[in-house]
Amino acid sequence: MPLPRLALAVIGDEIGPSLDEMISFCAEHEVRRLDMRTVGGRNLLGMSLEEGGVIARRIEQAGLTVPTFVSPLLKWPAPGKGSEGGKVDFAFDPADCPADDPLVHAFDMATVFGAEKIRVFSHLRYPGYRPSDLFGRFERLADLGLTYSINVEIENEAVCNIGSVGDLAEFFTLMEEAVAPGPLPVQLRPLVDIGNAWAMGAPPTDAEIASLAPRVDLIHLKDRDTAANRTVPLGDGNVPWAAELTRLLTEAAKAPAPIRQIQASIETHCPQDARSATARSVAALRRIAAEIGVEVV
């Protein structure tokens, strides 16, 4: 049973704020995929399509592709809801979007970059949240995904309602039940962030991974020093990445129609030493993949 190969990508602003830094890093470390979120401290969702087009052309001229628009969609309070507070990395106010509808603008921006995937969240965590609160919103995102031929990647993050991998598994299970007997929209995908789950003290269980793996086509990679309670370069922390990747890829390979390639995107989250930490993480992924017999492309 061959395991899916990993398509290596890096998130640009995990290297540095400027486009020059992102492009030079990719050339230096032989990375061909550059996921985009911000440039010069500005989120792409807050830019015009013309501004995005200028950036996209430079990336294309450098021989790179942008598989994922790492958008901040729904990383803001739900309508009529507050939030439980806490620091929000790469926070975004939808009022800063230059278009009337941030959802449509995000898909337009993803199209400008030629992205096949768009990352989304689940609104900032609020008391009394139920997974069904999100069904309508994600039905619309799935419709947009179908219209634009872009997969909608729902990430688990602690400050949001879907925080752990367990939360992600519960959401997909309940939404699948809600749309039965019809199928869950194929455009909706779980963006499994195992590092985020470990940071919450909730490592994913075998059952959670097994339930999500058949739909996974994108993962984020970061590591965690649990004693120091901080994020560290991949391979430097306590997350058993060889075992985690083996478990996820093995379950993905068991699917009736297995995905042959999963994008593995480095999200270092080490701003104090961003470029070096991302370089070490890229090297670590290649080393770990070789140890477990998985191809990195």
- Prediction pTM value: 0.96
Tally of domains in the chain: 1
The pLDDT mean for the chain works out to 96
Q: What is the pLDDT of residue 157?
A: 96
pLDDT digits 0-9 by tens, 209-263: 999 999 999 999 999 999 999 999 999 999 999 999 999 999 999 999 999 999 9
Residue 297 lies in a domain: no
User: Considering the domain boundaries, does residue 205 fall inside one?
Assistant: yes
- What number is the average pLDDT over the span 152-168? 97
Give the pLDDT confidence of 4-45 residue by residue, as tens digits.
999 999 999 999 999 999 999 999 999 999 999 999 999 999
Range of the domain at 230: 5-292
- Asked if the structure places residue 68 within a domain, the reply is yes
Average pLDDT on 165-173 reads 98
In a domain, 72, yes or no: yes
Residue 84 confidence (pLDDT): 72
Q: How far apart are CA 141 and CA 189, in angstroms?
A: 11
Quick check: is 54 in a domain?
yes
**243 domain-assigned:** yes
* Residue 85: per-residue pLDDT: 66
Q: Is 280 inside any structural domain?
A: yes
Q: Residue 101: what residue type?
A: D
- pLDDT for 87 equals 76
The CATH number for 19's domain is 3.20.20.150
- More reliable by pLDDT, 81 or 28: 28
Average pLDDT, stretch 106-115?
98
